[in-house]
Protein backbone atom coordinates (compact mmCIF):
# COMPACT_ATOMS: atom_id res chain seq x y z
CA UNK A 1 0.00 0.00 0.00
CA UNK A 2 1.43 3.32 -1.07
CA UNK A 3 1.19 6.21 1.41
CA UNK A 4 0.41 9.59 -0.03
CA UNK A 5 2.71 12.34 1.13
CA UNK A 6 1.04 15.24 2.84
CA UNK A 7 0.91 18.23 0.51
CA UNK A 8 0.45 21.47 2.43
CA UNK A 9 -2.18 23.84 1.12
CA UNK A 10 -0.67 27.27 0.48
CA UNK A 11 -2.83 30.37 0.58
CA UNK A 12 -2.02 33.97 -0.15
CA UNK A 13 -3.92 36.47 1.93
CA UNK A 14 -3.24 40.15 1.20
CA UNK A 15 0.17 39.23 -0.22
CA UNK A 16 1.10 37.05 2.78
CA UNK A 17 1.84 33.41 1.89
CA UNK A 18 0.84 30.94 4.59
CA UNK A 19 0.26 27.22 4.94
CA UNK A 20 -3.34 27.31 6.08
CA UNK A 21 -3.11 24.06 8.07
CA UNK A 22 0.16 24.81 9.85
CA UNK A 23 1.28 28.43 9.81
CA UNK A 24 0.12 30.81 12.43
CA UNK A 25 0.55 34.20 10.79
CA UNK A 26 0.24 36.09 14.07
CA UNK A 27 2.83 38.82 14.37
CA UNK A 28 3.51 38.87 10.63
CA UNK A 29 3.24 42.11 8.72
CA UNK A 30 1.24 42.61 5.55
CA UNK A 31 0.33 45.66 3.52
CA UNK A 32 -3.17 46.52 2.42
CA UNK A 33 -3.30 49.71 0.40
CA UNK A 34 -0.95 52.22 1.98
CA UNK A 35 -1.24 50.77 5.47
CA UNK A 36 0.99 48.06 6.96
CA UNK A 37 -0.88 45.79 9.40
CA UNK A 38 0.36 43.20 11.88
CA UNK A 39 -1.71 40.07 12.44
CA UNK A 40 -2.29 39.28 16.11
CA UNK A 41 -4.54 36.85 17.84
CA UNK A 42 -6.91 38.92 19.97
CA UNK A 43 -6.16 36.93 23.16
CA UNK A 44 -2.43 37.55 22.71
CA UNK A 45 -2.74 41.29 22.17
CA UNK A 46 -5.38 41.76 24.87
CA UNK A 47 -3.43 39.70 27.40
CA UNK A 48 -0.23 41.65 26.78
CA UNK A 49 -1.99 45.02 27.05
CA UNK A 50 -3.82 43.92 30.22
CA UNK A 51 -0.49 42.92 31.81
CA UNK A 52 1.07 46.28 31.01
CA UNK A 53 -2.00 48.24 32.15
CA UNK A 54 -2.38 46.22 35.37
CA UNK A 55 1.22 46.80 36.37
CA UNK A 56 1.01 50.52 35.56
CA UNK A 57 -2.29 50.84 37.46
CA UNK A 58 -0.77 49.19 40.54
CA UNK A 59 2.24 51.52 40.40
CA UNK A 60 -0.10 54.50 40.19
CA UNK A 61 -2.52 53.32 42.90
CA UNK A 62 0.21 52.38 45.37
CA UNK A 63 2.23 55.51 44.49
CA UNK A 64 5.38 53.49 43.98
CA UNK A 65 8.51 55.04 42.47
CA UNK A 66 9.24 52.05 40.21
CA UNK A 67 7.90 48.71 38.96
CA UNK A 68 7.85 45.89 41.47
CA UNK A 69 7.61 42.12 41.70
CA UNK A 70 4.86 40.11 43.36
CA UNK A 71 5.41 36.78 45.05
CA UNK A 72 3.89 33.65 43.51
CA UNK A 73 0.74 33.74 45.65
CA UNK A 74 0.05 37.42 44.94
CA UNK A 75 0.69 37.08 41.21
CA UNK A 76 -1.46 33.94 40.96
CA UNK A 77 -4.33 35.79 42.66
CA UNK A 78 -3.90 38.81 40.37
CA UNK A 79 -3.82 36.58 37.28
CA UNK A 80 -6.93 34.72 38.42
CA UNK A 81 -8.87 37.96 38.95
CA UNK A 82 -7.72 39.55 35.67
CA UNK A 83 -8.23 36.59 33.30
CA UNK A 84 -11.45 37.06 31.28
CA UNK A 85 -14.02 34.36 32.03
CA UNK A 86 -15.38 34.15 28.48
CA UNK A 87 -12.23 32.68 26.89
CA UNK A 88 -11.87 29.03 25.89
CA UNK A 89 -9.02 27.09 27.50
CA UNK A 90 -6.59 27.64 24.61
CA UNK A 91 -7.23 31.40 24.40
CA UNK A 92 -7.17 31.69 28.20
CA UNK A 93 -3.71 30.10 28.19
CA UNK A 94 -2.52 32.47 25.45
CA UNK A 95 -4.03 35.43 27.31
CA UNK A 96 -2.35 34.49 30.63
CA UNK A 97 1.04 33.87 28.99
CA UNK A 98 0.98 37.28 27.33
CA UNK A 99 -0.37 38.98 30.47
CA UNK A 100 2.80 37.74 32.18
CA UNK A 101 4.88 39.07 29.27
CA UNK A 102 3.16 42.47 29.50
CA UNK A 103 3.61 42.64 33.28
CA UNK A 104 7.26 41.64 32.90
CA UNK A 105 7.89 44.24 30.17
CA UNK A 106 7.04 46.95 32.69
CA UNK A 107 9.23 45.35 35.36
CA UNK A 108 12.15 45.01 32.92
CA UNK A 109 11.87 48.62 31.75
CA UNK A 110 10.65 47.82 28.24
CA UNK A 111 7.60 50.08 28.74
CA UNK A 112 7.91 53.85 29.07
CA UNK A 113 7.01 54.80 32.65
CA UNK A 114 7.48 58.56 32.34
CA UNK A 115 3.77 59.29 32.00
CA UNK A 116 2.89 57.05 34.95
CA UNK A 117 5.58 58.23 37.32
CA UNK A 118 4.82 61.92 36.75
CA UNK A 119 1.03 61.86 36.93
CA UNK A 120 0.95 62.89 40.58
CA UNK A 121 2.95 66.06 40.04
| Segment 43-57, tens digit of pLDDT | 777 888 899 889 988
State pLDDT tens for residues 19-35. Answer: 655 555 555 666 778 87
The per-residue pLDDT of the chain, averaged, comes to 76
Q: Reply yes or no on whether the pLDDT at 98 is more than 80.
A: yes
The sign of the CA dihedral 41, 43, 46, 51 is negative
Would you state the pLDDT for residue 16? 61
pLDDT per position as a tens digit, 58-68: 888 888 878 88
Q: What is the pTM of this model?
A: 0.61
CB atoms within 10 A of CB 83: 15
The confidence score (pLDDT) of residue 3 equals: 57
Average pLDDT over residues 71-100: 89
- Could you state, in order of their start, the residue ranges of all structural domains in the chain? 1-39, 42-117
- Nearest Cα to 45, choosing from 86, 98, 103? 98
- Using alpha carbons, list the distances in angstroms from residue 17 to 2, 31, 33, 35, 76: 30, 12, 17, 18, 39
In the predicted model, is pLDDT for residue 83 greater than 80? Answer: yes
Contact criterion met (CB below 8 Å) for 13 and 28: no
Residue 29 pairs in a beta bridge with: 38
Supply the pLDDT for residue 119.
44
Amino acid sequence: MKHDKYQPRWETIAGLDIIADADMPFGKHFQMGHVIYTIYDRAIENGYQAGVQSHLALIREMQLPAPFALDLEQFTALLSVCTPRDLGSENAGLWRAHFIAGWSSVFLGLTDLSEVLHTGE
